[in-house]
Chain A
Amino acid sequence: MLKITNLKATINEKLILKGLDLNIKPGEVHAIMGPNGSGKSTLANVLSGKNGYEIEGEISFNGMDLNDLKIEERAQKGIFLAFQYPLEIPGVNTNNFLRTSLNSVRKARGEKELDTLTFLKLIKEKAKELNIDEKFLSRQLNVGFSGGEKKKNEILQMKLLEPKLSILDETDSGLDIDALRIVADGVNSYKNKENAFLIITHYQRLLDYIKPDFIHVLSAGKIIKTGNADLGEQLEKTGYANLS
């Protein structure tokens, strides 16, 4: 599904990713762990198409060259990034935003756009699954939401847009144990043979709930070690410093 070959990314003349390779197939869950400053968030940003990066190397997504796709086209074709810090956008109503987003994606996929009533029915169902209070949906997007509410809102968007590849950037940060479980349940219930996940995290914590097929250790812009779920537990004990 996603094949990254020798990816280098530079921002403000600083080389962050220094030749990264990654291959994700449908049905797989990959985790990327690594210390601060190793380039984890840069990888997420580059995949979402954020401006300002100079890119070398190849990123192929279902046979398409990702570098050729605009930010919104990536979303329309099935890449979803759950932000580490979801933005607060004053004035923009959450429901209105969600409907615009869903309909943009549906339109691009050649599906019928949903009218307000059908949409509201759908969003209420999805919100209930994630234990999100309906009143959040009529508030301004993320404004005054707690950390946990913002992250749940990201997962709600993921479930609504039904992406093929979901990238979760530090989704566990700022979550208490109950919210963590709800988010993990949300991911697990969406997981199937057709879609894939890339989970970026500092800690093993989230991986106790969402079992990865592969764990990669990112250090100084390169993947230095790849293993199965056991690698996470090992890292928890020994830290990143002992790897080289």
Chain B
Amino acid sequence: MKQNYDFDIEKIKNLSQEEKISRKKNLDLFYKSGFPSKQVEDWKFTDLNLILNKNFDNISNEVNFESSKDFKAIENFEHNFIFLTNGKIISTNFDHEEKSKILIKDFNQEEVKNINPSNALALLNSALSSGGFSLEITKDYKLKKPLIVYNCFSQDLKNKILNNKNSIKLNEGSELTLIDYSDNNTQNNFIKNTVDTISLNKNAVLKNILIQNSKSNGHFYKYIKSSLESGSSYENYILSSGLKLNKIEIEINLNKDNSSCSIYSALNLLGDQHQEIKTRINHNSPNCKSYQKIKNVLNDKSKGIYQGKIFVEKVAQKTDAYQLSKALIVSDNAEFDAKPELEIYADDVKCSHGSTSGSIDSDAVHYLMTRGISKQEAVKLLINGFLNEVLEKITNNELKIFLEKILERQINGH
């Protein structure tokens, strides 16, 4: 297959000679494999090479970081924000908080070496990364309002690839609700390749919510690597419907006792949208909990994938791990693939997993229609009922209403 990209480290500004050499190494490693195809086990359901060849011409990494003017903060929902264009910080606002407790700055690219040499996209990210933020919350500070990270994009990204790195660190006893809000409706094909590193210290609590705000031709890949200390809690909510292609890979390391994590996902895929959620939960310590509930609705010719692995180390006794994937297949042309995996070396654990897929209940549709509701509306009510369940555990009412509205918009196709 022809090489469909032209990457150049010289196009990244302000690099030291040393950094250029290190980036070049990563780029050479990437070149050995190129974009992964379905022959690579981790990508067997998402043939990225094929998809990019079909949709892109000569992908380039030359990206401008000009400020985008059409940024508009969400109204009627009190929040702090970080505003990014193409991944770079343009402005921040923490008016609801004690500002000295929050450290925010541009990501220092020299800080992180490549985190996973077997992952071609992570290698590429380390070679080309520019933009991104570092956020740190000081000990015992609990943010009063959620933080929205607005991801906006310039209009000149056709056939471009963005590579960002972000890091989020919560010190002991701190708490944050972070909403990663992708605000783009561009018709341009572009790629966003992001690596997030999350570190939760003792008893820290992070809610991480991923939202796609509109339909978009973006092709997104995100790798989240997180490590948890004792008693910390990490919750993920994924509401990313609308992207042409999206793959989210979450690696969670439960490194110390009594830490817990959860992943809730509610996706309504339309047209030829393709989304994959791949998780790996490493239970590295005793008495930790993990919980995953993945819900997909597949319409039209869409494709949804869930690959979830739970790994339990020998020392991780009293592990409590749960994993459930449910798909509602609305169209005969849609597809859903699930690959649950358990790898357990401890002998006193509770691990359960399940995967179901089914179609819309026609008796339920009939019942709703006898109440004057059109078929289309009836199906929407049922889809909403199916997906809304993942928001049940959210106790903050304002946040719940906000997310319910987002989900409803996604069900209506934005």
Residue positions of A touching B, CB distance < 8 A: 48-51, 70-72, 74-76, 80-81, 83, 86-87, 89-93, 96-97, 100-101, 104-105, 108, 140, 157, 161
Minimum CB–CB distance from A238 to chain B (whole Å) comes to 35
Minimum CB–CB distance from B400 to chain A (whole Å) comes to 13
Chain A CB count within 10 A is highest, among B363, B385, B389, for B385
The CA-CA distance from A93 to B391 in the complex, in Å, is: 14
CB-defined contacts of B361 to chain A, threshold 8 Å? 89
CB-defined contacts of B367 to chain A, threshold 8 Å? 83, 86-87, 89
CB-defined contacts of A104 to chain B, threshold 8 Å? 371-374, 377
State whether A108 touches B368 (Cβ < 8 A).
no
The CA-CA distance from A74 to B373 in the complex, in Å, is: 11
CB-defined contacts of A50 to chain B, threshold 8 Å? 366
Question: A-B pairs with the 7 shortest C-beta distances?
Answer: A91-B385, A75-B372, A101-B371, A105-B372, A92-B385, A71-B369, A104-B372
State whether B385 touches A89 (Cβ < 8 A).
yes
Residue B48, interface by CB 8 Å: no
State whether A140 touches B374 (Cβ < 8 A).
no
State whether B363 touches A87 (Cβ < 8 A).
yes
Minimum CB–CB distance from B397 to chain A (whole Å) comes to 13
State whether A91 touches B389 (Cβ < 8 A).
yes
CB-defined contacts of A81 to chain B, threshold 8 Å? 370
Which of A70, A91, A161 contacts B384 (CB under 8 A)?
Answer: A91
CB-defined contacts of B386 to chain A, threshold 8 Å? 91
State whether B370 touches A48 (Cβ < 8 A).
yes
Residue B382, interface by CB 8 Å: yes
Q: Considering the complex, give the chain A residue whose CB is closest to the CB of B383.
A: A91
Which of A51, A86, A161 contacts B372 (CB under 8 A)?
Answer: A161
CB-defined contacts of B307 to chain A, threshold 8 Å? none
State whether A75 touches B371 (Cβ < 8 A).
yes
Residue B381, interface by CB 8 Å: yes
Minimum CB–CB distance from B273 to chain A (whole Å) comes to 22
CB-defined contacts of A70 to chain B, threshold 8 Å? 369
Residue B364, interface by CB 8 Å: yes
A71-B366, A83-B367 as given contacts; A91 in contact with B388, CB under 8 Å: yes
CB-defined contacts of A51 to chain B, threshold 8 Å? 362, 366
A71-B366, A87-B363 as given contacts; A100 in contact with B373, CB under 8 Å: yes
A51-B366, A87-B364 as given contacts; A140 in contact with B385, CB under 8 Å: yes
The CA-CA distance from A83 to B367 in the complex, in Å, is: 9
State whether B372 touches A92 (Cβ < 8 A).
no
The CA-CA distance from A49 to B365 in the complex, in Å, is: 12
Residue contacts A-B, CB under 8 angstroms, 8 given: A48-B370, A72-B372, A72-B375, A90-B385, A91-B382, A91-B385, A92-B385, A104-B374
Within 8 A of A (CB), among B8-58: none
Q: Considering the complex, give the chain A residue whose CB is closest to the CB of B386.
A: A91
Given contacts A91-B389, A105-B371, 19 further A-B contacts (CB under 8 A): A51-B366, A70-B369, A71-B366, A71-B370, A72-B370, A72-B371, A72-B374, A75-B370, A75-B372, A76-B372, A80-B370, A81-B370, A89-B385, A91-B385, A92-B385, A101-B372, A104-B371, A104-B377, A140-B385
Minimum CB–CB distance from A198 to chain B (whole Å) comes to 15
The CA-CA distance from A96 to B373 in the complex, in Å, is: 12
CB-defined contacts of B387 to chain A, threshold 8 Å? 91
State whether A89 touches B382 (Cβ < 8 A).
yes
Q: Considering the complex, give the chain A residue whose CB is closest to the CB of B367.
A: A87
The CA-CA distance from A108 to B363 in the complex, in Å, is: 23
Minimum CB–CB distance from B395 to chain A (whole Å) comes to 16
Minimum CB–CB distance from A133 to chain B (whole Å) comes to 21
